[in-house]
C-alpha cells in the first residue's frame, strides 16, 4: 500500500456507523514501558508491561436516531466496541478495541460550533490493529461467501477477530471467518465463528488459541438456517505474526 491520507475513513461504535458525525479520531496504545535499568548500565533498559489502548475523538452534535449524540451521550457502564477503518477497501488496516467510554464533553465555540469530545479506554485486551475483512460495512441479503484477502503466508500463532452488526432482518445468521491455502478451497477457522445473530446492533470479539494455524487467505462467509433478508456488518481480523500472544 502506498502512502495515503485519512480521507474516506470510517468509525463504528458498538454496531452504529457514526463516521459522518466524527470530525477526528486518534488511536493510541501498546505495552507500557517498564524500566528495568541496572546500576551498571549507561542507558535505559525497558521491558513490556500491561497493554493499553485508547480511541479519542471529536463528534458533531447530531441528535437524529442512531447518530452520534444518542449513541455517545448514553455513557454506558458496560463495554462498548470501537472500530476504526483506514478507508473502506477490503484488506485495509483497521483498529478495534473493547472499551469503556469515560466521557462525552460538549464545547460551544466562539464561532458557534458545537462539538463533543469522547474517550474510549481499553478494557481487558488493549487496542488491536488488524485488517478489514469487509469493505467498510457489508450488507448481505442471503448467505454469502465474501471476497478474500491475501495475508502472504500461513502462520501458527493464532488470531483474534471483531464484528459489529449494524442491522439485521430475518431469523438468524452466522458470520464465520474461513481460511485457505490456495484461495480456492476454504474451511472455517476453529474459534473464529461469531455468536449467531438474531438481532442488531451488536458487537463481539472472539479469538483462537494462540498456537492455532491460520492459513494464507482469509474471507468472511455468512450462513443461515432460518433465513434473513438483511445483514449489515463489519469484520476485522488480527492474524498474529509472533508466537506467544496472550491477553
CATH number at residue 64: 2.40.30
Which of 189, 138, 129, 140 has the alpha carbon at shortest distance from 162?
A: 129
SS3 category, 20: helix
Cis before 104 (ω within 30)? no
111 with 150, same domain? no
Task: Give residue 184's domain range.
Answer: 132-239
143 with 200, same domain? yes
139 with 235, same domain? yes
**Predicted pLDDT at 2:** 81
Confidence of residue 188 (pLDDT cuts 50, 70, 90): very high
86 with 100, same domain? yes
- Whether 247 is in a domain gets the answer no
- Whether 107 is in a domain gets the answer yes
User: Do strands 46-60 and 114-122 pair parallel, antiparallel, or not at all (unpaired)?
Assistant: antiparallel
122 with 219, same domain? no
Percent of the chain whose pLDDT exceeds 90:
96
21 with 92, same domain? yes
Among 112, 129, 146, residue at a domain's last position: 129
Among 104, 129, 154, residue at a domain's last position: 129
- Whether 225 is in a domain gets the answer yes
Q: What's the gap between Cα 149 and its chain centre? A: 16
Question: CA angle, corner 16, sides to 13 and 20, nearest 5?
Answer: 90
Tell me the pLDDT tens digit for each residue of 132-185: 999 999 999 999 999 999 999 999 999 999 999 999 999 999 999 999 999 999
143 with 96, same domain? no
Which CATH number belongs to the domain containing residue 139 in this structure?
2.60.120.1110
* Dihedral angle sign, alpha carbons of residues 54, 60, 61, 64: negative
pTM score, whole prediction: 0.95
Residue 56: CA count within 13 A, CB half-sphere: 9
Confidence of residue 3 (pLDDT cuts 50, 70, 90): confident
Sheet holding 149-150, edge to edge: 149-150, 217-223, 174-180, 187-193
Q: What is the grid cell recorded at 130?
A: 488488524
- Mean per-residue pLDDT, 118-138: 97
Q: What is the grid cell recorded at 57?
A: 475523538
160 with 203, same domain? yes
Asked if residue 59 lies in contact with residue 113, where contact means CB atoms within 8 angstroms, the answer is: no
Count of structural domains within the chain = 2
Residue-by-residue DSSP string for 58-101: EEE---STTSHHHHHTT--SS-EEEEEESSSSTT-EEEEEEEEE
Asked if residue 191 lies in contact with residue 177, where contact means CB atoms within 8 angstroms, the answer is: no
Quick check: 109 pLDDT over 90?
yes
143 with 99, same domain? no
Tell me the pLDDT tens digit for each residue of 63-79: 999 999 999 999 999 99
Which of 76, 86, 89 has the alpha carbon at shortest distance from 120?
A: 76
Mean pLDDT of the chain: 96
- Whether 58 is in a domain gets the answer yes
Quick check: 1 pLDDT over 80?
no
36 with 114, same domain? yes
63 with 170, same domain? no
Residue-by-residue DSSP string for 211-229: T--B-SEEEEEEE-SS-EE
74 with 180, same domain? no
- Whether 2 is in a domain gets the answer no
DSSP-H helix ranges across the chain: 68-72
Amino acid at each position: 500500500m502506498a502512502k495515503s491520507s485519512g480521507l474516506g475513513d470510517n468509525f463504528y461504535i458498538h454496531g452504529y456507523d457514526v463516521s459522518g458525525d466524527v470530525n477526528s479520531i486518534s488511536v493510541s496504545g501498546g505495552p507500557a514501558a517498564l524500566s528495568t535499568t541496572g546500576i551498571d548500565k549507561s542507558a535505559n533498559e525497558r521491558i513490556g508491561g500491561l497493554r493499553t489502548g485508547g480511541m479519542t475523538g471529536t463528534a458533531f452534535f447530531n441528535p437524529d436516531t442512531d447518530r452520534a449524540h444518542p449513541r455517545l451521550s448514553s455513557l454506558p457502564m458496560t463495554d462498548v466496541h470501537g472500530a476504526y477503518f483506514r478507508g473502506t477497501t477490503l484488506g485495509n488496516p483497521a483498529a478495534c478495541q473493547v472499551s469503556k467510554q469515560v466521557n462525552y464533553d460538549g464545547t460551544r465555540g466562539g464561532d458557534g460550533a458545537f462539538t463533543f469530545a469522547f474517550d474510549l479506554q481499553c478494557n481487558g485486551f488493549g487496542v488491536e490493529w488488524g485488517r478489514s475483512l469487509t469493505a467498510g460495512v457489508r450488507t448481505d441479503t442471503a448467505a454469502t461467501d465474501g471476497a478474500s484477502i491475501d495475508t502472504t503466508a500461513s502462520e501458527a500463532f493464532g488470531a483474534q477477530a471483531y464484528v459489529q452488526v449494524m442491522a439485521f432482518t430475518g431469523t438468524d445468521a452466522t458470520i464465520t471467518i474461513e481460511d485457505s491455502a490456495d484461495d480456492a478451497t476454504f474451511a472455517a477457522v476453529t474459534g473464529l465463528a461469531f455468536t449467531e445473530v438474531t438481532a442488531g446492533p451488536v458487537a463481539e470479539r472472539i479469538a483462537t488459541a494462540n498456537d492455532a494455524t491460520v492459513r494464507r487467505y482469509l474471507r468472511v462467509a455468512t450462513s443461515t438456517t432460518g433465513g434473513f433478508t438483511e445483514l449489515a456488518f463489519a469484520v476485522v481480523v488480527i492474524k498474529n505474526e509472533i508466537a506467544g500472544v496472550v491477553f
